[in-house]
Structure 1
Amino acid sequence: MNTTAVAAASGYSVQQVRDLEALGVIPTAARAHNGYRQFDTTHVHAFRAYRDLAHAVGPAEARRAMREIRLHPPGRGAALICRFYTTLDNEREQALAARLALESIRAEAATDAEAKEGDSMTITELSQALGVKASALRFWEKSGLVAPDRLSTRPRTARRYTLTAIREARITAALRAGGYRIPEVRRAITAVRDLNDVSDSLAALDARLDTIAQRTLALLRAGTHLAAVIESTPMAGHADRHVA
Structure 2
Amino acid sequence: MTNHEVRLRPVDLARLSGLSTQQIRNYEDAGVLPPAARTESGYRVFGDVHRRALLTYRALQPGYGPVAATAVMQALHDGDVPGALALVDAAHAGLHEQRTALRATRVALETLAGRRPPAAAPHTADPHTADPRTADLRIGEVAALLGVRTSALRVWEAAGLLTPARERGTRYRQFGPDDIRDARLIQTLRRSHYPLDQIRPVLEELRREGGTEALRAAVAERGEALAGRTRAMLAGAGRLAEYIEYTENVGRAGTG
For residue 87 of structure 1, report the CA deviation from its aligned partner: 0.8
For residue 122 of structure 1, report the CA deviation from its aligned partner: 1.7
Aligned counterparts of 1:199 and 1:71: Cα–Cα separation in 2: 49
**Which of 165, 170, 173 is matched with 1:149 structurally?**
165
1:56-80 deviation per Cα after TM superposition (whole angstroms, max 9, x unaligned): 2332333233323433532222122
Q: Which runs of 4+ in 1 moved over 6 A?
A: 109-114
Task: Decide which moves more: 182-191 or 214-223.
Answer: 182-191
Cα RMSD after superposing both structures: 3.2
Aligned counterparts of 1:74 and 1:22: Cα–Cα separation in 2: 19
Higher relative contact order (CA 8 A, sep 6+): 1
8 Å contact 2:101–2:201 — kept in the other structure?
yes
**Which of 222, 226, 229 is matched with 2:236 structurally?**
222
8 Å contact 1:20–1:26 — kept in the other structure?
yes
Aligned counterparts of 1:136 and 1:114: Cα–Cα separation in 2: 19
TM-score (norm 2): 0.75
Unaligned runs of 5+ in 1: 238-244
Aligned counterparts of 2:29 and 2:72: Cα–Cα separation in 1: 15
**Which of 121, 126, 142 is matched with 1:126 structurally?**
142
Count of aligned positions:
231
8 Å contact 1:3–1:37 — kept in the other structure?
yes
8 Å contact 1:45–1:228 — kept in the other structure?
no
> Are residues 1:171 and 2:189 paired?
no
Match of 2:3 in 1: none
8 Å contact 2:206–2:215 — kept in the other structure?
yes
Aligned counterparts of 1:109 and 1:61: Cα–Cα separation in 2: 46
For residue 92 of structure 1, report the CA deviation from its aligned partner: 1.1
TM-score (norm 1): 0.78
Q: Describe the shift of the 1:21–1:150 C-alpha distance in structure 2 as closer, same or farther (beyond 3 A).
A: farther
Match of 1:241 in 2: none
1:13-72 deviation per Cα after TM superposition (whole angstroms, max 9, x unaligned): 434323433443322332222332222233233323333332223323332333234335
Match of 1:242 in 2: none
**Which of 151, 160, 166 is matched with 1:135 structurally?**
151
8 Å contact 1:97–1:187 — kept in the other structure?
no
Match of 2:74 in 1: 67
